[in-house]
Amino acid sequence: GTFYGVPFFLKDLLGQYKGVPTSGGSAALQHLAATHDSELVRRFKQSGVAILGKSSCPELGLLGATEPKAFGATRNPWNLSHTPGGSSGGSASLVAAGVVPMASAGDGGGSIRIPAACCGLFGLKPSRGRVPLGPDYGEVWEGAVQEHVLTRSVRDSAAMLDGVHGADAFSPYIIKSPTTSFLQAIKQPPKKLRIGFTTLPPSNKPIDPNYKVFAEQAAKQLAALGHHVEEATPPIDG
Active site residues: 11, 87, 111
CA distance 199 to 37: 42
